[in-house]
Amino acid sequence: MAMKIGEDKFFERVDKGVQNTFMRNAVVSAQERMQGKRLAAVEELGNWEEWRKLGEEIRTHTLENIDYYLEQLSENVTKRGGHVFFASTKEEANEYISKVAKEKRAKKVVKSKSMVTEEINLNAALEKAGCEVIETDLGEYILQLDDHDPPSHIVVPALHKNKEQIRDTFKEKRGYDKSEIPEELALFAREQLRQEFLSADLGITGCNFAVAESGSISLVTNEGNAGLVTALPKTQITVMGMERIVPTWEELDILVSLLCRSSVGQKLTSYITGLTGPKDEGDVDGPEEFHLVIVDNGRSNILGTEFQSALNCIRCAACVNVCPVYRHIGGHSYGSIYAGPIGAVLTPLLGGYEDYKELPYASSLCAACTDACPVKIPLHELLIKHRRKIVEDEKKSPFAEKLAMKGYQLAASSPSLYKAGTKSASTVMAPFTQSNSIQKGPGPMKPWTDVRDFPAPNKERFRDWYKKREKGEE
């Protein structure tokens, strides 16, 4: 599955989302649970705004000096016996990883959860190279079994499924014969996966943050699967987006605190793993060979632009969990593995406006996302910047809209035109008005009145009343 999911057009996807009651109920209850946990965890920490400011400063500093830190990271990984590969494109990344798999004659690959490997469609490349790939994060495992259903949430990829659907998938694909109780489902998955861990040749992980000063990678999980992926197979490949980097362990501490609290409302997750290179002599576990693949895939084009702060994202999904648009349409409607507000900002940057020109408009600009972001990405402002770019630089806005906005500018910057226009409004709208409201509006009003009444313009505008009052006529 690549970043783009499905071939349906935007409004077809939205309609499917809106009509999917199962999914919507799951999203609503997950959002409410996660919002509550996040707020409690944030309050408990205290001085949240100070923490956010610190998070933003760390991310901004790192991105502004990304060349330096990438070089430092690369040197330190190499020093510890690891291999580093910089991939400019997804093709380069997949080619390198496939080459390593072939060299190792890897038949079975176990993976822990990673969005960047979804983005570059790594599983398909590995399968082409003759490997069997097994997702070991429970959510990802469920999706993989269910005919490679794409993730619908950055942190909880199978959020759109309920436990009955999961039970049916296990039953159909793996002969599961127990109930839909979550503990039973999880136990079954664990038993299935245990054998895979033991017999895997290659382990692939994502990377929450790489620590430049020591050449380490860190992984934040609740299931412990990343620990097994990195402990058992002889070869480990870690894939990271080039921006997922911190200068030292001190900044890692702060960002992991922000991540866990914002994402799942926990102080820390069950497992926070730090790994530095392949195993040393005398180590009881760990890979003999370690590769770090640093993926650009369009990210460096964002550096230095008005969208740079989008790269501050630490993939916590706090913005997704508060978004009222995501709440009603679900993740798949975004047509990208990156859903929700950060998805609406990032996807057009990485995937282009041709496929994703609607996403910046799929927001009421309510700014709940901006408020929730632990590293202060001004998400709703970035959506407005996308819109400006689409209109003014790309010139992709509809002709009728351009005309309307030109008319608006003329009227709103010329008081006489404005006054004449508003004065005639009630007369113009009179034929459409019934008992003080408009139920079937003409032209551009139609979409509004398809679902709502529109108020009829007042016969006496405020300014008319005010003038009369000044003259003492009221």
Instruction: Point out which residues bind another protein (CB under 8 A).
Output: 11, 14-15, 18, 322, 324-325, 327-329, 361-368, 370-371, 384, 386-392, 397, 401, 405-406, 408-409, 411-415, 418, 422, 425, 437, 439, 444, 447-448, 450-458, 460-467, 469
- Residue 52 C-beta: closest distance to another protein, Å: 14
Query: In terms of CB distance, is 47 or 413 closer to another protein?
Result: 413
Q: Both tokens of residue 412? A: 């709103």
260 annotated ligand binder: no
CA atoms within 13 Å, Cβ hemisphere of 164? 3
207 annotated ligand binder: no
- Nearest of 416, 457, 318 to residue 37 by alpha carbon: 318
316 annotated ligand binder: yes
Query: In terms of CB distance, is 43 or 283 closer to another protein?
Result: 43
Match 């508003």 to its residue by tokens. 422
Angle at 343 between CA 8 and CA 36, to 5 degrees: 115
Give bridge partners of residue 109 from the DSSP assignment: 133, 202
- Residue 471 C-beta: closest distance to another protein, Å: 13
Rounded to whole angstroms, the Cα distance separating 139 from 41 reads: 24
Query: In terms of CB distance, is 48 or 361 closer to another protein?
Result: 361
Query: In terms of CB distance, is 172 or 392 closer to another protein?
Result: 392
Give bridge partners of residue 85 from the DSSP assignment: 293
Rounded to whole angstroms, the Cα distance separating 349 from 301 reads: 9
- Residue 363 C-beta: closest distance to another protein, Å: 7
- Residue 474 C-beta: closest distance to another protein, Å: 9
Query: In terms of CB distance, is 181 or 400 closer to another protein?
Result: 400
- Residue 441 C-beta: closest distance to another protein, Å: 10
369 annotated ligand binder: yes
131 annotated ligand binder: no
Query: In terms of CB distance, is 206 or 441 closer to another protein?
Result: 441
Rounded to whole angstroms, the Cα distance separating 15 from 36 reads: 29
Contact present, 41 and 261 (Cβ < 8 Å): yes
Rounded to whole angstroms, the Cα distance separating 426 from 442 reads: 14
Rounded to whole angstroms, the Cα distance separating 200 from 133 reads: 9
- Residue 254 C-beta: closest distance to another protein, Å: 25
Q: Both tokens of residue 67? A: 């060349």
Count CB neighbours of 137 within 10 A: 25
Query: Which residues are annotated as part of the binding site?
Result: 313, 316, 319, 323, 366, 369, 373
Query: Which residues are annotated as part of the binding site for [4Fe-4S] cluster?
Result: 313, 316, 319, 323, 366, 369, 373
